[in-house]
Structures are given as C-alpha cells and as structure tokens.
Amino acid sequence: MKAIRVERTGGRDSLTFTDIPDPAPAQGQVLVANEFAGVNYIDIYQREGQYALPTPFTIGLEAAGTVVRTGPEVADFRTGDRVAYHGTLGAYAERTIVPADRLVQLPNAVSTRDAAALMLQGLTAHYLATSTYPLKAGETCLVHAAAGGVGLLLCQIAKLRGARVLGTVSTEQKAELARAAGADEVIRYTVQDFVGETRRFTSGHGVEVVYDSVGRTTFNRSLECLAPRGMLVLFGQSSGAVPPIDPQLLNQKGSLYLTRPALGHYVATRAELLARTRDLFDWFGDGDLRIRIDREVALKEVAEAHRALEGRETIGKILLKI
C-alpha cells in the first residue's frame, strides 16, 4: 500500500511517498481503509523532530474511512463500518491499524470527509472550551488565530456556551470568517494592538481566558489581556516555542493561571472520547457547528499541504485525499 514515510526528520523533503506492506490487525485492533486524512500542525512538529519519534515512521494522526478487517476480540465494529480516529500514528496511508477503543462510529449525518476535518481540531476546541477552562454564559474569551481550523470551531463552541468571543486574525478576509463563526469582536493584529483592543472591548478589565495556539510571538502579550485570576491556555506554538518564564510574573499580573494542555489527556478514556465526539457530531448534524475545509490535496502531494500550512495560507482545514 502507499504511505508517506519519514525516514529522517527535517524539512518537507523528508516526506517520502512510498510502498509499505499491508498491515494486519492483531487482538483489539481494526484495519481501516482511510479515505481522508487531516493535516495538522502537530504533523509538522513530528516531521521536524520537535516532537521526537523513532524513525522511520508513517506520519499523520487523524483520518476517516471504512473498516476493512477486525482482529480478535473486537465486538463493536464490523467490515464496512464508517469510522474515524485521531491520535493513532500512521494516518497518511491507504490503510492504518487502529486500536478499537480509539475508533468512533460515524452517524449518517457525518461523512468521512467531514469527520476527518472535525476529529482532532473539533476535539481540541471541545476540551478547551468545556474542560480546560469551562466557559460560562457571560464570560469573555480571546481566541488567537480565530480563522484557523481550531479557531473557527472554538469560536462556535464558545458561543454555544454563551460566552462573548474576541478573536485575532491577520486579514480582513479572515476577520469575516471569524465573525461568521460567532466572534463578537475581531482584532486585526497586523494593524491593531491586540492588547489595547482587548482592554478596550472589556472596559479595561481583561478577559477570563486566552486560548493561544501561536506561542512565542503572542505569549507575553496574551498575559496582558487577562483579568485578575484569568487563565492563559497555551495549546500550540505555530510561531515557535515559548521561552522559560519566572512564575512570579503570574503573580505580578494578577494571580494568573497558565496551563499547557494536550488532547490526549482529555480523551484518555473511551467514555470521554465518545462523549466529546457525540457532542461534536450532534452539533454538526443540527447545523450548530460548521466545518470549513480549505482544500483537498492528493496523498502524494503532501509536501504542498505542509507548505501551505506552514506558510499560514490556509483558512480552515487541509485534507489529504487518500
């Protein structure tokens, strides 16, 4: 079967379109024929070696497709079932072995294309807004990269929870998308000071929580946007890793909270995975949650997908069509 392998970590030239043997499911595993795979920033981190993995490896952590075969002691899935998964390495391939407890069935209202676009980013937005900082009606949040894949979903989920949403974007086109996703106020950080605008929109008080996936270039100023005892949720580093900080800084700026969460800790049990995906699929089926797919790229053209994501050219999700 065809797959994208990383023989050595590094740039986009380390992505190799090649043949590897067809895998066979063992006990508790399912063989999935992938139809679409999601492209995410964590894939770039792994390709570059920022998140170290033993080489060689088949890249990709999220896909949707159909069940080809099940291993022994798998009771919940049958051949032909439409399924999706995240968090299992090897999604940039025609077929992937997935632990049965990491798979979810797709309802009729959710296509494999939609599911591949929704799983990782949707689950991320879900845990951020419902668990890391459980937004309540009347609270205000600041979402950086509000027109990105997670950002658009996070804006929508925050509004479903009754929060007021401020979003940062780079262009007017992205501002329009953020507004359509529910952002009450949009800040063009390329021409506006996002700290000053956040303070202005909150009458100087600041926001209860900042959701920051950008990292190095926004981190220190994100702290300036928080109300006393507010929380900075750092869940990515698209601009680079944040340097070490003195915890005393959190005290000086108002007894602030800082957390660096990861999705895996918020879907650690199957029950939690199913609960979160159930919410996402229900919201999507009811029309309360919309997915924006920026583009589809053929599997063998994966380097182009990484280039577009790294260059911040995308508005929404990139999918690989397997």
Lookup result for tokens 């911040």 = 312
Lookup result for tokens 């490896």 = 57
DSSP-derived secondary structure letter, 21 = P
Q: Are 133 and 139 in contact (CB under 8 A)?
A: no
Q: Coil, helix or strand for 251?
A: helix
Helix axes 112-127, 270-286, angle to 10 degrees: 110
Q: Are 168 and 146 in contact (CB under 8 A)?
A: yes
Lookup result for tokens 């070696």 = 49
> H or E element: which one contains 245?
none
Measure the CA–CA gap between 236 and 42, rounded to whole angstroms. Answer: 9
Q: Coil, helix or strand for 265?
A: helix
DSSP 100-130: GGGEEEPPTTS-HHHHHHHHHHHHHHHHIII
pTM given for the model: 0.93
Measure the CA–CA gap between 307 and 310, rounded to whole angstroms. Answer: 5
Q: In angstroms, how far is the first alpha carbon of the chain from the final one?
A: 11
pLDDT in tens, the chain (322 residues): 999 999 999 999 999 999 999 999 999 999 999 999 999 988 999 999 988 999 999 999 999 999 999 999 999 999 999 999 999 999 999 999 999 999 999 999 999 999 999 999 999 999 999 999 999 999 999 999 999 889 999 999 999 999 999 999 999 999 999 999 999 999 999 999 999 999 999 999 999 999 999 999 999 999 999 999 999 999 988 888 899 999 999 999 999 999 999 999 999 999 999 999 999 999 999 999 999 999 999 999 999 999 998 887 887 899 999 9
Domains and CATH numbers, the chain: 2-120+267-321 (3.90.180.10), 137-260 (3.40.50.720)
Lookup result for tokens 């088949």 = 58
Which has the closest alpha carbon to 315: 149, 184, 172, 155? 149
Lookup result for tokens 């920051």 = 212
Cα torsion through 239, 322, 70, 78, rounded to 10: 110
